[in-house]
Structure 1
Amino acid sequence: MNFLKLFKLTLPVMTAYIPLGMALGILAASNHFSIYQALMISFFVYSGSAEFLLVTFIVANETLLGIFITLFLLGFRHFFYTLTILSELKNLNFLRHYVIFSLSDESFALLSTYQKDFESVSNKHKRSLYYALLCFLNQSYWLFGVFLGFLFQNNIDIDYSGIEFSLSALFIVLAYDAYKQNPNPKILFIAFFIGFFGFLFIAKAYMLFACLSIALVYLLIRKNYVR
């Protein structure tokens, strides 16, 4: 593991985060947010769809309680991410606090998929640095995309429709890459089950349903699960 390999791992995220961040920057600029407000939301909230909702809620004069409850439920999946790699985080130094803060869906997917590569780094401080760098690179791509989108909206008059599909494309690429690392047919079955029943019956709470379902299936199939 080295910085160049780490950077290559984040390239799929970069190709999606920049256009998706641009979509957020365009949305913020269209609703008369300043560049500083857009970047602050992106840095401190840093939860993809939650940022889009936050901008929409602010424009609609939503109450603080309504914003809090909605964003809390939307970001609740991040609790599961941290719990999943808790044993690895305990072995990191103070940089683990930044890793926990910036553990987005995509960063978690990369850390989980290439866990063995990170564990091969015996030096505790280097491993902590690599974890933090991966998360930092991904967050940098997002912030850069927001900045570009804000500038484009204010200076270039073109049609940006369809740019939001970059998020779906990113999840498809990451899921395919994870399956190549572990071509287990059970993964396909679980994905089909969660996708079919989630969209069919509880589309409005799909993300929470997906996280709870994955956690339940994991506990059921792993008999030697240890807290």
Structure 2
Amino acid sequence: MDIKTLRIAFPHTIPVLTGYFFLGFAYGLLMHGAGYPFWLAVLCSLVVYAGAAQYAAVPLLGVFDPAGTFLLTLMLNARHIFYGLSMLEKYRNTGKIKSYLIFSLTDETYSILVSVQPPKGVDTRRFYLAVSALNQIYWVVATAAGALLGAAMPFDTTGVEFVMTALFVTLFVEQWLQTKQHRPALIGLGSSLICLWIFGQNFIVPAMVLITVLLLSQQSRLEREGTA
């Protein structure tokens, strides 16, 4: 990864930078408010880096419940299985950096890598690495800032976890405005609402299965419309 690639990748990550500043900052505040030291908040963002799962783990870090923690994390991050499959071809020849690219594939990084083509003359692997690394840097730095400021002055953290929802909405709207083909977004939204109505809070995995089935059934039509 070089400075040139970082400069090219950076503008594409600005929406994530904006969202991660508030998300990571809020996470740092929550960790401090729960009584955890600064270094633990930063370490979690370095080695876990799982967004919603990190938020959910705040009350679990002080409780020895490996089975419950595993099931909760699986439920929250099961969506990674499905959109991770769509990255197999993109990551096929990434060599030594493949492990990090897989580790750092968050929702926000995924949304960039599936919608942005690296400019001509830019190594695709380095571009993927630059986007992934920049996004994690934003998260870690924001976490550190939140934990430090939380230690310096008292904060009421009630409701700050809503920033995660706000970021997902922002990304959805951004992608909607950037693309002319809205059928995949409508399939995802409709499938999620249907599964939420049927399964309640356990809707994530059924929704991802339904979205995958519907998108595969519409693949040929979507490809034709995309090239029309």
TM-score by length of 1: 0.86
2:144 is equivalent to residue 142 of structure 1: no
What fraction of aligned residue pairs are identical, expressed as a percent?
26
| Matched positions, count | 219
Match of 1:101 in 2: 103
2:183 is equivalent to residue 186 of structure 1: yes
**Equivalent of 1:50 in 48, 53, 66:** 53
Q: Which blocks of at least 5 consecutive residues in structure 2 are unaligned? A: 222-228
Comparing 11-20 and 182-191, the one that deviates more? 182-191
* Partner Cα distance (1:193, 1:180) in 2: 18
SS at match of 2:54: helix
- Which amino acid counterpart does residue 193 of structure 1 have in structure 2? G
Deviations 1:153-174 (A, max 9, x none): 1112344444333222222222
- Which amino acid counterpart does residue 38 of structure 1 have in structure 2? A
Residues 63 and 164 of structure 1: CA distance in aligned 2, closer, same or farther (over 3 Å): closer
Match of 1:10 in 2: 13
Residues 55 and 192 of structure 1: CA distance in aligned 2, closer, same or farther (over 3 Å): closer
2:209 is equivalent to residue 212 of structure 1: yes
Q: Which blocks of at least 5 consecutive residues in structure 1 are unaligned? A: none
* Paired residues for 1:1-227 under 5 Å: 2-59=5-62, 61-114=63-116, 117-118=117-118, 121=120, 126-223=123-220
SS at match of 2:60: helix
* Partner Cα distance (2:174, 2:10) in 1: 16
Comparing 1-10 and 170-179, the one that deviates more? 1-10
* Partner Cα distance (1:100, 1:121) in 2: 24
* Partner Cα distance (2:48, 2:5) in 1: 29
Residues 122 and 84 of structure 1: CA distance in aligned 2, closer, same or farther (over 3 Å): farther
